[in-house]
Structure 1
Amino acid sequence: MTALLVALGAALGAGSRHLVVTSLRSRGATASGGVLVVNATGSLLLGLVAGHASGAAPGWLLPLVGVGFCGAYTTFATHAVEVVSAARTGRTRHAVADVVLNLALGIALVSLGWAITA
């Protein structure tokens, strides 16, 4: 049953990521900006879910939302490609800023989510 919950969450997460990134790109966001938004919001959601799951949350919550949805919604692999691409094309400051922003926001927002629900 757990595998089905993860798979369902992943299908919803990947579809949601596509919709968010496509919507942001149509409004003029860069590829890196879209990745930053999904990683930041996914980190917040994961913190909220993990904090809630540390208490008396239903058993389906963490596999469905934490592992499945957040795992597919966030895109750290695409983030790595964006950083390497920026570095290879001489945009070193952009690459460094991208890494720092994604890590700082991710850690801050997952911590905030945990603090809110734990």
Structure 2
Amino acid sequence: MSGTLTGPLAVLLVAAGAAIGAPLRYLTDRLVQARHDTVFPWGTFTVNLAGSALLGFLTALPADQVVMTGAGLGFCGALTTYSTFSYETLRLIEDGARFTAVASVAAGVAGGLGAGAFGFALAGAVTG
């Protein structure tokens, strides 16, 4: 990712961002999923869209290596979760919920791209 730091400071910033993003992902996922009585992975969908929107927003801002490293790589990287997305998709297929699996993949990919574009456009509108 351009605009990010390297070296020991980068490791500390990524770790700090991830230390906030990972628990927030877990808590948000559990909170959202508990409100839906469905096999669709709403919690993962929510955190992935939120993280995509935030990362899109951050990338549209004037480059700040500290922010992009800590918030972009660390926080957004830990908030979003491709591994859980993949795991939940495979579980849906194994459980015979193939339509839901396909819908989850389509919505997750399209939604993530759309959320990223929205965040990018929003930052452009805010910063002029």
Quick one: distance in 1 between partners of 2:26 and 2:119?
Answer: 23
**Residues 58 and 15 of structure 1: is their aligned pair in 2 closer, same or farther, counting only changes over 3 Å?**
same
More deviation, 89-98/27-36: 27-36
Gaps of 5+ in 1: none
Normalised by the size of structure 1, how large is the TM-score? Answer: 0.89
**4+ runs of 1 displaced by more than 2 Å?**
25-31
**1:15 Cα deviation from its structure 2 partner:** 1.2
Quick one: distance in 1 between partners of 2:92 and 2:35?
Answer: 22
SS at match of 1:60: helix
SS at match of 1:39: helix
What is the aligned-residue identity percentage? Answer: 36
**1:29 Cα deviation from its structure 2 partner:** 5.6
In the alignment, does 2:22 pair up with 1:19? no
Q: Is the 8 A contact 2:17 2:75 kept in 1?
A: yes
Quick one: distance in 2 between partners of 1:4 and 1:38?
Answer: 23
Quick one: distance in 2 between partners of 1:15 and 1:4?
Answer: 17
- What are the equivalent positions in structure 2 for 1:1-118 lying under 5 Å apart? 1-28=9-36, 32-52=41-61, 55=62, 57-118=63-124
Q: How many residues of Structure 1 are paired with residues of Structure 2 in the alignment?
A: 115
Q: Which residue identity is paired with 2:86? A: A
Q: Is the 8 A contact 2:36 2:42 kept in 1?
A: no
Quick one: distance in 1 between partners of 2:37 and 2:64?
Answer: 37
Gaps of 5+ in 2: 1-8
